Amino acid sequence: AAAAAAADHRTRRMVDVVDGGSSPLMLSACCKHYTAYDLDAWANFSRYSFNAQVTEQDMRDTYQPPFRSCIREGGASCLMCSYNAVNGVPVCASRQLLRVAREKWGLQGYVTSDCNAVATIYEYQRYVHSPEDAVADALKAGVDINCGGYYTEYTASAMEQGKVGEEDVDRALVNLFSVQLRLGLFDGDPRKRQFGQLGPRDVCTAQHQQLALEAARQGIVLLKNDGGFLPLNTTRVSSLAVIGPAANSSDSAVLGGDYTGSPCNPKSLYEGLQGFVGGRASFARGCVNVACSSDEGLDEAVGIAREADVAVVVAGLDLTQEDEDRDRMSLLLPGKQKDLVVAAAAASGLPIVLVLTGGGPLDVSFAKDNPRIASILWVGYPGEAGGRAVAQAIFGELNPGGRLPVTWYPESFADAVPMNDMHMRPDPSRDYPGRTYRFYTGEVVYPFGHGLSYSSYSYELVSAPRHISVLPSDVVSRNTRAAGGREEEGNGSTTASLELVLYDLEELESCEAMRFSVVVSVTNRGVMDGSHTVLLFSTGRSAEAPGVGPQLIRGAPRKQLIGFQRVQTTSGGAATAEMVVHPCEHLSTVDERGERVLRLGEHTLMLDDGLRQRHHSLFLRISGGEDGIPSPSPSQGQNRKIQLQHPEIQLGFV
């Protein structure tokens, strides 16, 4: 849900407008890389030949939703197919997968391959017997553009061999040029168009630099802050030690991550901190580089940590550790970085501040449990303004409000879960713990959504529905052991439970009528203004419906993010967050057959403010029935409709 919402938000803000609009941006956004592309280079596996084995349940429930939202809600007009195969078929040669985008999701635009992905169909995957076959399979599957040389080199010979027809080429051209026409690329001199006069001078404007700073500020996550150690007071810090191989680097490999443009006046983390304490700051690398393969530089780092009032240690990752075609093999800090952090913490007079860089989770259990490490900040790849933003957070000009976008697993997860295993659901029979916060059953270092603040926040539910009703004719019933049937003792027979569900949700236009809002008042109990992100989940918690049995779908997520909103609050003030819930999307589950199912009965909503969880029960029931109790003989007829029956308002979570 989080990935789908992000895809929707990012594309919605930049796409060309197909259905008209007052001020289209005249841009075409592309969703990539489609689909189940979760491995680049790990162990003996390569993205060019990797065959992702994905169940129908996982495909429709996990791997497809971000792309569906990117196209349907975000309005993207391009889809990039990935290098890998899915269940034995290269994605760029899969008619089944690519036609879903057009026929089910309504893609109006073109499909492009990742660079040389058409070539990999023949050269790496050996899925076909010749380059012409690769071109034919890709074109007929719906790939309109080949990033690479195969279409240029082999389309003509594929046509001569009768493997490609003119209609295949015509269709690809229509898909491509229809987008270019919408963008106005054939409407005269491009210099007179909306973006015709843009140049380098338009990049480093004050507005853009302020946007970069705000992005860095919002992305900082406070993981630990024992005893309110942060923020530091500049008047009480007479000297500051800044330690770490990446702490004084303004290189994009440290600040920007991969595929970045030229930064505008980038400042390192050390330079940002100097802005608050000036000449009272000292710097030591501690390691030669981020790989930290030796203890060269350790003594110098320990020395300045011992002399300074406070030490800030910058550890984590850069592009030498994680990059395209470079997957990490471990969740631990690289090389001897842990030794550097622990040594600096032991030498410093006061506990230290640990700043972590990088784009993925890290097992920093040692730091989480070490009282000599008072505070931990994760800053990701904060960009050109990262040095300023991190310094503002450490010295109190910024009240951190970020939340972790992924689960931080312990190193044992990397040992137990092969990267080539695409299963999301846990499997106790083989000690497989599952993946992501939705399914993972093991211990975590920090959970998805974790993030502290210098303020404390309290919630009050303003409104949320208690009941939503559907017509009896909307419901399908089936007897199924998977839904909760139990084996009778002694005779091996099964007493099946009645599972009541709604199918074909994507075909029900009246799903829109079921949507409702959850409105929450957020009060800032701290002394600093700050932003706070409210997270709304649906959970697997469900009571037994009387006479029906537990209303569960096998493999349903333990919990799922269904809404979030960031609010800005003043000290002592309150702000309102409103999250719209679409039951057909947010409360439904994909069953083992790959069908999306909306379960009748109790659904539990959960607010998680990082300190405690609040639950609210909502009943999806048949019109005229009691909570979770169906009316007799639900129909299995077609053209089922759903109607909303004036939901009651429940004032308070339990």
Domain boundaries, the chain: 2-192, 205-405, 457-622
Question: Cα-Cα-Cα-Cα dihedral of 582, 584, 588, 592, to 10°?
Answer: -150
pLDDT reported for residue 146: 97
Helix, strand or coil, per DSSP, at residue 462 = strand
Which residues neighbour 160 within 8 Å (Cβ) at sequence distance 6 or greater? none
CA atoms within 13 A on the CB side of 599: 30
Q: Which residues of the chain are modeled with pLDDT < 70? A: 1-25, 470-510, 540-552, 610, 623-654
Instruction: Show the tokens assigned to 278.
Output: 């000036």
Which residues neighbour 38 within 8 Å (Cβ) at sequence distance 6 or greater? 52, 419, 422
The strand pairing partners of 353, in sequence order, are 312, 375
Q: Which helix (H) or strand (E) holds 181?
A: helix 166-182
Query: For 508-535, b where at least 16 C-beta lie within 10 A, e where not — what string?
Result: beebeebebebebebbbebebbbbbbbb
Could you tell me if 398 and 445 are in contact, meaning their C-beta atoms sit under 8 angstroms apart?
no
pLDDT reported for residue 5: 57
Q: Which helix (H) or strand (E) holds 533?
A: strand 530-539
d(CA 507, CA 379): 42
Could you tell me if 131 and 156 are in contact, meaning their C-beta atoms sit under 8 angstroms apart?
no
Q: Which helix (H) or strand (E) holds 394?
A: helix 386-394
d(CA 85, CA 80): 14
Instruction: Show the tokens assigned to 175.
Output: 């898909």
pLDDT reported for residue 551: 43
Residues in the chain: 654
The CATH code belonging to domain 205-405 is 3.40.50.1700
pLDDT reported for residue 642: 34
d(CA 144, CA 280): 59
Which residues neighbour 210 within 8 Å (Cβ) at sequence distance 6 or greater? none
What's the distance, CA 370 to chain centroid? Answer: 30
Is 431 a residue of the active site?
A: no
The strand pairing partners of 225, in sequence order, are 375
Cis peptide before 465 (omega within 30 of 0): no
Could you tell me if 93 and 61 are in contact, meaning their C-beta atoms sit under 8 angstroms apart?
no
pLDDT reported for residue 653: 37
Strand duo 78-81 + 85-86: pairing? unpaired
Closest CA to 260 of 206, 323, 210, 217: 323
d(CA 453, CA 411): 27
Q: Under CATH, domain 457-622 is a member of which superfamily?
A: Immunoglobulins (2.60.40.10)
Other C-beta atoms closer than 10 Å to the C-beta of 558 total: 16
The CATH code belonging to domain 2-192 is 3.20.20.300
Could you tell me if 375 and 398 are in contact, meaning their C-beta atoms sit under 8 angstroms apart?
no
pLDDT reported for residue 389: 98
Among residues 114, 133, 591, 608, the one annotated as catalytic is 114
d(CA 481, CA 496): 5
pLDDT reported for residue 474: 58
CA atoms within 13 A on the CB side of 169: 12
pLDDT reported for residue 433: 96
d(CA 556, CA 568): 34
The model's pTM: 0.89
- What are the angstrom distances between the C-alpha of 202 and each of 196, 199, 639? 12, 6, 54
